[in-house]
Amino acid sequence: MDSWWQLGEHSGYSGEELELGRITCPFCEERGNFDTARHAEKKKPNGAKTLNFDTLACGSCKGYVMCLWSAGSSGLHDYRVLPWPMRVEKHPEHWPADVGRFWLQAHRSLADENWGAAAVMARSALQAALRGQGAAGVNLKQEIADLASRGLLRPSSRSGRTRSASSGTTRPIRSLGRRRRTRRTPGTSPSSSTSCSSTCTRCRTGSRSTARGRQEAASAPRRRGSRERVSPDEADRRTVTGRRPQPPPLDNRPAPP
């Protein structure tokens, strides 16, 4: 559905009037006990479509529910409510009964933070849906592969791989977690303790922290625009005096006052 004007056009419930018996109060969880407190309509400017805005009052707890509903041209109607019940109480009516029963138990286990039971019920719902399509196999993996071989599932479901939306490449599902990062000593390859090649930028950068690297850096010719390199003794003397020593005069004549 791309627009609210399509509400009730392609899917929904039978009839052209809102069935209050399908709506559950989100506060007391009683179903179907509503009275219409206020009704408003909005008609489509260039068509006969009408959106209905109802404010429903619960007859049990006196709570209010806002309901948007509309009837389509094919004899169906659909609705959206706000707020909705936080507890899942039923599965979609067009689902098979066994799939809906396991799906409902999985949602209730999630609400109670029973993670293991939720995973088991979700797996049972998936397996019930596969067997409803005539899947053959002794376990869930073989049943998925059987439906994939017949074209009822995507080939990626058979191989246990997932497609990355950003790059378009496939990866094993187990590799989607956070990767562990390991630190290695500069000068060694990631897979072994052997030295890298001389073209390894990371190792050449890391070798500068060693004593040999510092000596090579001090003896290297100074490039234009780079900082001045001085010996440790010269650096200590500058620290004590607080200024650089003046260069000696070009001859032995005394400097002018």
Among candidates 127, 12, 156, 151, which has minimal Cα distance to 80? 12
Last residue of a domain, one of 159, 175, 210: 159
Q: Is the pLDDT of residue 228 over 70?
A: no
Q: What pLDDT is stored for residue 184 in this prediction?
A: 52
195 or 48, higher pLDDT: 48
| pTM of the full structure | 0.46
pLDDT, tens digit (0-9, with 9 covering 90-100), for 110-148: 888 899 999 999 999 999 999 998 999 989 889 998 898
Q: Is residue 55 part of a domain?
A: yes
| 43 and 107 share one domain | no
* Spatial separation of the C-alpha atoms in residues 29 and 153, rounded to whole Å: 38
Q: What is the b/e burial string over 97-132, where b = at least 16 CB atoms within 10 angstroms of the residue's CB?
A: eebbbbbbbbbbbbeeeeeeebeebbebbbbbbbbe
Q: Residue 11 is part of which domain span?
A: 7-82
- Residue 217 within a domain: no
| 22 — pLDDT class (breaks 50, 70, 90) | confident
Helices within the chain (DSSP H only): 97-111, 115-132, 140-149, 155-159, 201-206, 211-219, 232-241
247 or 149: which leads in pLDDT: 149
At 46-75, the pLDDT tens digits run 888 999 999 999 999 999 999 999 998 888
- Contact at 8 Å (CB) between 127 and 142? no
**Residue 141 forms part of a structural domain:** yes
Model confidence band, residue 191 (pLDDT cutoffs 50, 70, 90):
very low
**One domain, residues 69 and 104:** no
**How confident is the model at residue 154, as a pLDDT?**
77
Any bridge partners for residue 170, and if so which?
A: 163
The answer to whether residue 178 scores a pLDDT higher than 50 is no
DSSP per position, 43-58: E-TTSS-EEEEEEEEE
| 37 and 104 together in one domain | no
Q: Are residues 101 and 71 in the same domain?
A: no
Residue 194: pLDDT band with limits 50, 70, 90: very low
Give yes or no: residues 109 and 152 share one domain: yes
Q: Which of left, alpha, beta for 187 (phi over 0: left; psi -120 to 50: alpha)?
A: left
| Among candidate residues 82, 106, 127, the one where a domain is terminated | 82
- The answer to whether position 195 is within a domain reads no
The answer, yes or no, to whether residue 256 has pLDDT greater than 80, is no
Question: What per-residue confidence (pLDDT) applies to 208?
Answer: 47
Which stretch, 118-132, 169-183, 197-211, 229-243, has highest mean pLDDT?
A: 118-132
Q: SS3 for 64? A: strand
* Residue 177 lies inside a defined structural domain of this protein: no
Say how many domains are in the chain. 2
179 falls within a domain:
no
Q: Is residue 219 part of a domain?
A: no
Residue 82 has pLDDT above 60, yes or no: yes
Residue 181: pLDDT over 70 = no
Name the domain boundary from 159, 185, 205. 159
Do 22 and 59 belong to one domain?
A: yes
Distances (CA, A) of 15 to 33, 55, 66, 124: 19, 20, 20, 34
pLDDT in tens, 157-177: 655 554 443 344 444 434 333
Q: How far is CA 131 from the centre of its chain?
A: 30
> 51 and 117: one domain?
no
Q: Does residue 154 belong to any structural domain of this protein?
A: yes
